[in-house]
Amino acid sequence: VAYSRHIVQIYSYHGGEEVRQHLEIDAHVGGVNDLAFSHPNKQLCVITCGDDKTIKVWDAASGTKQYTFEGHEAPVYSVCPHYKENIQFIFSTALDGKIKAWLYDNLGSRVDYDAPGRWCTTMAYSADGTRSTFST
């Protein structure tokens, strides 16, 4: 669960009606705008983005921060993990219409381009990974 304040809460489901809070992460300065799950290097991670213009990757088991991606000049509103030909990466979209792509390292964005219509708040890939969609 991502909140308009700086908190992300992760819950675990154990069957029946039992849902327990697993972690609470103080994720961003300002609001947390989106979160997604990914599994780089076979490790379950939570990816978050926020009003502080950053994308962060957290270990889903421990809550330990793995990566912080900086480079957007506006609040980041969407993260979309994807993989192609065994390369795992994250797309991010910001309020200024910029789309960036990041590998799971600390070397900065690999792609920087303008969203269709120069405005975009959400990006998603189809289940088979062949199509991407943008919405505002």
Taking only the tens place, the pLDDT of each residue in 21-56 is 888 999 999 999 999 999 988 899 999 999 999 999
Contact assessment for residue 30 and residue 50, using Cβ atoms and an 8 Å cutoff: yes
Best CA proximity match to 68, nearest among 83, 81, 49, 41: 49
- Contact between 76 and 94 under an 8 Å Cβ cutoff? The reply is yes
Task: Judge whether 47 and 81 are in contact, CB under 8 Å.
Answer: yes
pLDDT one-digit tens code per residue, 113-123: 887 665 555 55
For the chain, give every domain's residue range.
33-115
Query: What's the whole-model pTM score?
Result: 0.84
How many whole angstroms separate alpha carbon 72 and alpha carbon 80?
15
Fold classification of 33-115 is Thrombin, subunit H (2.40.10)
Question: 62 is written with which tokens?
Answer: 């421990």
Q: What are phi and psi of 62, to 5 degrees?
A: -105, -20
